[in-house]
Structure 1
Amino acid sequence: MSDLLSHPSFVRFWCARVAAVAGTQMLMLTIGWHMYELTASAWDLGLVGLFQFAPALAMTLPAGHTADRHHRARIVALCLSAQAMVALLLVAGTLAHAVSREWLLALSALLGAIRPFQMSAQQALLPSLVPAPLLARATAVTSTGTQAAVIGGPALGGLIFAVNLNAVYIVCTVLFLGAALACLWVRYERQPVPREPVNAQTLLAGVRYVWGHPVLLGAVSLDLFAVLLGGATALLPIFAKEILHVGPEGLGLLRSAPAVGALAAGLVLSHVALERRVGRKLLVSVAVFGLCMVVFGLSTSFWLSLLALAVSGAADMVSVVIRQTLVQLETPDQMRGRVAAVNTLFIGASNQLGEFESGVTAAAFGPVGSVVLGGLGTIGISLAWWRLFRPLAMRDALAGPQRVA
């Protein structure tokens, strides 16, 4: 840990990530609860995710190209400032009593358009802030801080929401602006890049690179299909209100529970290196995540539900550290922005499109049926990837042969 603290730009980046994630979690928690109070519709909760995913899909390739051509820390700062403006628009709309279903969906779409630029730039930025031997540990420490923010953000957001809705949006604005300022102080060695024309070949370079490397393709697609099926975030307001019978405070705890497990796992991984059989550990962790979703879906006990979500978060943390480190180590720096954009697309699909899938299946089978079927599907994906992506399943160490573009 002391080795990482000796890199001040990494410390600033870490602080910015923590503040930004806390703000994002609070914002999305509040938008979800706000939407459900307005419409009481699982379908509309799913639409919040779809309206984030659609513009994110359109912006993915330009975002990756931008991250490989411009100062990555400044891109992140600009994106965070834009999210602060979204939070201020929600403040203004609430004060004017103008917030509607359409208003929330429109702002969700705006957030979706911003996010690919932020995620592509910040994923590609991390390897430039620490030496390669510290990358896996830096990824674990960054993910641990992120999960700490995921714990504190929704829990605090739920408490503030119970008192005053607009206060949540104001706190989000402050967090986003603080994170943006921290990013402006991030310094890293940036090699000049060739002035390539913006065309289909350069935009699709990241897609071609991922497609040509089975380890990368298996790793990023695993997250897409596993979380697409197994995620239950969009349905938490329904479980909190109608199944577990808890209010906004209970919803905040449910939303934070996966992060509690992830934080515990992250603290371990920041001190204990993943050195052997990383492919098998990745696939097993995804299967455990799916099993936890099955338990959560069937549970009628608030405490058992919290435990299942916490264990799912620990399993997901192991998966995240392995996948993100593999992606960075398998990609040359001049390609990291575009490869990160592809990874961002898969992550966005697994989260936002997964929320839409949850809403659709919940409308058809009920929330319990949706979560249980999704968890079983995630276990099936882990087993399928074991056969479809043998280079990934049999990967022993994180570091492999040096890749060239």
Structure 2
Amino acid sequence: MKLISVLRGLVDWSALAIDLRPLRENRQFRLLFTGRLVSLAGLGMLMVVFSWQIYELTGSSLQVALVNATLGVAAFAGSLVGGVQADRADRRRLIVWSRTAAVLGFVALAVNASLPEPSVAVLYVVALWDGVAGGFSSTALAAAVPAVLTRRQIPASGALMAISIDVGSVVAPLLAGVLLAVGSAALVYWVVVAVSLLSLVFLLGLRPIVPTADESGPDDSAGLWPDLVAGVRYAAGDRIVGGVLLLGFVQILFASPYVLIPEFITDDLGGGPTALGLVYSAPAAGALVATLLSGWTGRVRRIGRVQFIVFTAACLAVAGFGAAPALWVAVVAMAVVGAMDVLAEVVRFTILSERTPDHLRGRVASLWSAQGTVGETLGGPALSLLARPLGAGGAIAAGGLIGAAATAALWAGLAPLRTLTREPDDFDEPDEVDEAAAGIPAETTMEEMPR
């Protein structure tokens, strides 16, 4: 009790606690948050059962990587096309229809898993289908969230969107592991279908979220390619936005161990489905703690420097996971990975939301999604091949160290992002929130940021 009293005197916990005001003040954001939270609970279970079923049917981590690569290529295409559409049309409509299409894919997985001999080919086909649907949905939602916020709400909303991943994923993978141990893959898939349908109920309550009109926005009469090029040109020409995208790509390319987790847990640590679910849940648990204590992120001034620090720490934690001699060490390492990843996500959300005009948010979101899927598509098979001479743990550790070294190199080469500062707002001053608003003025982007 004495120690607790001392800690209370040393730390201002109210300054660390997550800011919940966007949920109280903004109904549009509240519906987006809740729909995403429920959906991610289903996806957390799907992530476990999908990889486990592939490995169970084929006995090959390379097959796990190839199916995930198929998913990544489809998501890449879906996110690019979806990004343009999110800058052209009602983002609510895109979210609802793409989520509905994804549910149909989950039904196909459940039916396939119920067969006496499930088809691996079906897993590839559904990976293509759900990859495209997920690409549309994720980019439309990423463009919709900052469009319904005021500037003061952006950092807090970034943390809240991150916690939707944490809460939606911390229990779901563990539950999927337990259901696999006592039931079957088909059971888990049907639960995913039910949870995904529930998420649609919340998303249907959204008002239209139409992009802000701009002369340089997408031209509905033009093809997709000119609009895609315009988005890429903006990201490449803005050294802050381009730097954030590049930094995220490097980490995902080298320090994303997820395709090797089934092999690492099974062969290196001797675990089963429950251990697998525990490891998959660990990043969400670490992220949950970090997000609940994320109140300080809205007051960070040297925001670019923080971005580099958390990315480096995440890569080093991945290396520690690959070198783990026991399950508990692996769980702790992955919890640290999750904590650093979520802090990077909050900072990234703040930078891109304030930096990007509303009429370009869909395309910038699609580029962020695309760099993630390209990184996973290239990095997964590369790590799987590296695991042949080094073993799963050795390949994971090597990837983490390479990612940390690459991030250090970018620290030297991306001076505008490294020196980026943000002047925090007066967080005690209330905002007038228009729930029907489709966007916030372009003038609310960060001040005094080098281009």
Q: Would you say same fold, with TM above 0.5?
A: yes
Match of 1:176 in 2: 196
Match of 2:205 in 1: 185
Match of 2:284 in 1: 259
Tell me if the contact between 1:76 and 1:122 (Cα under 8 Å) persists in the aligned partners: yes
Q: CA deviation at 1:378?
A: 1.1
Match of 2:9 in 1: none
Match of 2:308 in 1: 283
Q: Choose from 51, 71, 92 the match for 2:90.
A: 71
Look up the equivalent residue of 1:392 and give its one-letter code: L
Structure-2 separation of matches of 1:402 and 1:204? 26
Match of 1:110 in 2: 129
Q: Choose from 353, 372, 396 the match for 2:397.
A: 372
Structure-1 separation of matches of 2:42 and 2:383? 24
Q: How does 1:3-402 map to 2 (within 5 A)?
A: 3-164=22-183, 165-187=185-207, 190=210, 193=213, 195-199=219-223, 200-270=225-295, 272-397=297-422, 400-401=446-447
Structure-2 separation of matches of 1:46 and 1:339? 27
Provide closer, same or farther for how the CA distance between residues 402 and 179 of structure 1 changes in structure 2, counting only shifts above 3 A: farther
Q: CA deviation at 1:163?
A: 2.0
SS at match of 2:160: helix
Superposition RMSD in Å: 1.9
Worse-matched range after superposition: 312-321 or 95-104 = 95-104
SS at match of 1:204: helix
Match of 2:437 in 1: none
Structure-1 separation of matches of 2:211 and 2:399? 44
For residues 30-75 of structure 1, the C-alpha deviation after alignment (integer angstroms, 9 at most, x for no partner) is: 0100011111111111112211122223333321111111111221
Worse-matched range after superposition: 168-177 or 341-350 = 341-350
Worse-matched range after superposition: 331-340 or 240-249 = 240-249
Worse-matched range after superposition: 115-124 or 101-110 = 101-110
Structure-2 separation of matches of 1:261 and 1:380? 24
For residues 358-405 of structure 1, the C-alpha deviation after alignment (integer angstroms, 9 at most, x for no partner) is: 2232234321221111011111121111111110011121762389xx
Structure-2 separation of matches of 1:179 and 1:3? 20
Identity of aligned residues (%): 28
Look up the equivalent residue of 1:253 and give its one-letter code: L
SS at match of 1:13: helix
Tell me if the contact between 2:91 and 2:209 (Cα under 8 Å) persists in the aligned partners: no
Look up the equivalent residue of 2:210 and give its one-letter code: R
Provide closer, same or farther for how the CA distance between residues 191 and 349 of structure 1 changes in structure 2, counting only shifts above 3 A: closer
Structure-1 separation of matches of 2:212 and 2:340? 39
Q: CA deviation at 1:291?
A: 1.1
- Give the structure with higher Rg (CA): 2
Tell me if the contact between 1:44 and 1:359 (Cα under 8 Å) persists in the aligned partners: no
Q: CA deviation at 1:28?
A: 2.0
Tell me if the contact between 2:32 and 2:203 (Cα under 8 Å) persists in the aligned partners: yes
For residues 142-197 of structure 1, the C-alpha deviation after alignment (integer angstroms, 9 at most, x for no partner) is: 10121111111111111111122211111110111111221111125635647542
Structure-2 separation of matches of 1:366 and 1:204? 41
For normalisation by structure 1, the TM-score amounts to: 0.95
SS at match of 1:132: coil
Q: CA deviation at 1:290?
A: 1.2
* Structure 2: gaps (5+ residues): 1-19, 424-444
* Structure 1: gaps (5+ residues): none
Structure-2 separation of matches of 1:269 and 1:187? 29
Tell me if the contact between 1:13 and 1:182 (Cα under 8 Å) persists in the aligned partners: yes
Structure-2 separation of matches of 1:389 and 1:280? 11
SS at match of 2:298: coil
Worse-matched range after superposition: 189-198 or 336-345 = 189-198
